[in-house]
Amino acid sequence: MSLRMSRGVLSAVAALSLVATVGPLAHAEDATTQPPSAPTTQPAPEPTTSPGSAVPAESATPSETAPAEETGETAAPSEPSEAPASADASAPVSVPFTEGLALSVVPRSGPFSTAKHPTLSFGARTKVGWAWPQTGVMMPGDFTGDRRSDILLFFVEDGSVKIRLYQGTGSGGVTTVGVIGQGWNEFDYVSAADVTGDGRADLIGRKKNGELWLYPSGGMRFVDGQRIGWGWQGMRSLTAVPAPSWGMPSVMATDQAGRLYRYPFTNRSGRFGDPITYGLGWTNVSRIMPAGDVDANGQPDFYTTDSAGDFYLYQASNNGRAYTSYRMGNGWSIMPQIMAVPNTLGAGVYGIDTAGDLYWYPINTRAVAKPSPWLTPVTSIRKPGWTVTPQLGWNGTKVRVVRLALGQGAPLDASMTFTSSTRSAVVRFQQRAGLGGSGVVDRTTWGRMTGRDWWMDNWQAQPRVGVNASRAERVEAMIAFANLAKGAPYTWGGAGPWNDGFDCSGLALQAIYSAGYDPQPINVVSHAGPTYRTSKELYAHPKLERVPFSQRQRGDLVFWQGSGGIYHVAIYLGNNQIIEANYGYVRQRALYNWGQIAPYVKRVAH
C-alpha cells in the first residue's frame, strides 16, 4: 500500500474524498479524459540522471492533505537510509512489543464478514503484537529477500522522519530489527515494489515538489536514489503494486477527479510505459493495497477499503484493462491502520486496532467448482457513486435537461450535446442568477436552473428475475424492458428513464440490468462521457459470451461496425427482428445494413 506523510507528521493514507457508499466502479480505458504525457508546467528533464518517465496530469493538491509549503527545494540525502549499528539499534521505549504473544481468536469481533469471492476468504485472526503506533505509517513488503513479509515503520523522532524495520518470521509474525534510515522529511508518499528485480522490495517516494524517486533495496538499507518522474503532485494517492505472475510492477494513482491510472514499469531502472486509465468513480476509496496476482493471469490485482468499512478485492481481466470487484468483508473502518500483504508473501492483512494491537488476518483459498466465465446473476445493481457535471463536450440525460431549460431544444440525434452555444447560455444564466459565470453546471446552478434531482442520471432498472432464474426468463426480462421503452426519445448518451430518453447502448445496458446482470465496469454515468462508447465496451466485455452472428438467438446483442469500429447495438428478438434506440426514438424493426453487422453477437443470459 502507499503511505502519505503530511507536514512532517505521518498518517496512514486513508483520505480520498468520500462520495459513494459502495466500492468504486472501474471501467476499461476510459476515453473521456486521457492524461497528458507531461504536466502543464514541467521542469526541464535531466537526461544524465533521469530515465524519463511518463508523467501524469498535473492538478491541485487537496487542501486537507497538502504538505507545508517550502521556500526552496531541499536536496535529497545522499543515503536516506543506512544500516543500523545492530539488530536492536532502536530505543526500547519506542519499539512495539512483537515477541511472545500469539493469540488465535475467532474473527467475529474484528473486521470480517462472509466472503463473496468464489475461492478466497479470511481465516481466523492472530494477535502478533501490541503497543503499535497509530500515528506512524506502516508498509509491508519483502525488504530482506527471504520471501517473507517484513514491515517498515515510518515515524518522526527528533524532527526527522525515520524508518524502522521489522523482519517477518512467517504466518504474520515479525521481529524488531531496528532503525535503518532517516531524513525522509521531504517525501509525502512512499510505497514499495521490487522494481530492480533482485527479489527485494525497493522504495518509491514522491517529494512534495511532485518528483518521483526510486531507492533500490540494499538488504538492511536502501541505496542512493534516482529521480524517475516529475509532475506527480496532482495525484491524490500513489500505490506501488508488485509484479504479477510475469511482467513488471506498476504504480497505481488516483487524480483529483477520482480517475484511477496504472503506470507499468518497462525496465529495471524505473522507466514507465503508457498509462492505463480505469476511469472515474474512485473518490470513495480509503485505501488501495496490492494483492499480487490472485488468479495467476499475469495482471496485478488489488484490495481496497471504502468509507463504509467494506473490504474489496479487484481482480484484473486477462488484458489488465478492466477489473471485477468482490466484497470480502466489512467493519474495517475501526482499524486506524491496515496493510495488505500480496499473495506471493503469504496473502493476508495486518490491522492495528484502536488499542494498538497488531493482528494478522490470513486470506485462505478454498476449492470450489470452477466459476462461470460469464456474468454472474445479481439481486441488485450497484450505483455508480458519481454523477455527470454538465459541461462542454458531455452528453446524456442531464445535458438534455440543461438544454431544454435554456431553450436550446433536445435534438433526437448525436447533436444532443453540451456545445459551446450551451456553455454561453449557461454563463448568461449564471451571471443573471449571481452565480459567477463558469459555464459549468455545478450543483447550485443545476438546482436553480432545473429543479431536478442532481443524481437523476443514476437511474437504473433493477432485476426483474431472481438469481436462480432460467436463461429463458432472463431473456424475456430483457425484452420486456425494451418493449416498455418503445417510443422513448433518442438521447445521445442517455440511459433513461422513458421521459429522459435512451441511446442504443443505454437501452441495451438497462435491459441487461433487468435480466439480473451488472456488466461492470460499464455503468450509466460513464456512459455519458464525451468519447466513451458503451457499445464498444459491451462488444469487448470479457464476461459476455461471443457467438458467431449465424448462431444468434433471442436476447442476444447485435452490433454494427464501420471504419472506426463498433458504432451501434440492438437487442435481437428472433426472426431477424430487433429493438433499438436509434435517431428519433426506441422502436422495433427488421435487421438492416447487413454489410455492416459485426461478425459476432454477445450473449448476455446463460
CA dist., res. 148 & res. 377, Å (int) = 38
- State the pLDDT at residue 121: 78
The answer as to whether 372 is a domain residue is: no
| Same domain, yes or no: 261 and 409 | no
Query: How many CA atoms lie less than 13 Å away from 571 in the CB half-sphere?
Result: 32
Q: Which three cell numbers stand for residue 479?
A: 425484452
- Domain at 156, CATH number: 2.115.10
The answer as to whether 370 is a domain residue is: no
Query: How many CA atoms lie less than 13 Å away from 601 in the CB half-sphere?
Result: 22
Whether the CB-CB separation of 193 and 290 falls below 8 Å is answered with yes
The answer as to whether 392 is a domain residue is: no
| Same domain, yes or no: 447 and 534 | no
| Same domain, yes or no: 439 and 480 | no
| Same domain, yes or no: 416 and 469 | no
- State the pLDDT at residue 366: 61
The answer as to whether 130 is a domain residue is: yes
| Same domain, yes or no: 433 and 533 | no
CA dist., res. 496 & res. 462, Å (int) = 13
Structural domain total, the chain: 3
User: Which of helix, strand or coil describes residue 81?
Assistant: strand
- State the pLDDT at residue 448: 94
| Same domain, yes or no: 291 and 416 | no
Which of these, 409, 400, 395, 402, lies nearest to 449 by C-alpha position? 402
| Same domain, yes or no: 448 and 466 | no
Which are the contacts of 374, defined by CB distance < 8 A and separation ≥ 6?
543, 544, 545, 603, 606
Output phi, psi for 192, to 5 deg: -140, 140
The answer as to whether 75 is a domain residue is: no
The answer as to whether 385 is a domain residue is: no
Q: Which of 365, 387, 421 is at the close of a domain? A: 365
Cα–Cα distances (Å) from 97 to 175, 179, 284, 557, in that order, read: 9, 15, 34, 60
Q: Which of 413, 436, 454 is at the close of a domain? A: 454
pLDDT digits (tens, 9 = 90+) for 579-589: 999 999 999 99
Q: Which three cell numbers stand for residue 213?
A: 524517486
| Same domain, yes or no: 543 and 441 | no
- Domain at 483, CATH number: 3.90.1720.10
What is the extent of the structural domain holding 255?
A: 3-59+89-365
- State the pLDDT at residue 360: 86
| Same domain, yes or no: 421 and 319 | no
CA dist., res. 231 & res. 446, Å (int) = 34
CA dist., res. 181 & res. 163, Å (int) = 5
| Same domain, yes or no: 146 and 125 | yes
- State the pLDDT at residue 62: 22
CA dist., res. 263 & res. 269, Å (int) = 14
Which stretches does DSSP call E strand in 491-590?
Answer: 545-548, 557-562, 565-574, 577-582, 585-590
The answer as to whether 132 is a domain residue is: yes
pLDDT digits (tens, 9 = 90+) for 139-186: 888 888 777 778 888 888 888 888 888 888 766 677 888 888 888 888
- Say what the pTM is: 0.45
The answer as to whether 183 is a domain residue is: yes
* Low-confidence spans in the chain with pLDDT less than 50: 1-115, 368
Q: How many residues does the chain have?
A: 606
| Same domain, yes or no: 484 and 549 | yes
Q: Which of 343, 365, 387 is at the close of a domain? A: 365
DSSP H or E run through 534: helix 534-540
- State the pLDDT at residue 112: 31
| Same domain, yes or no: 142 and 167 | yes
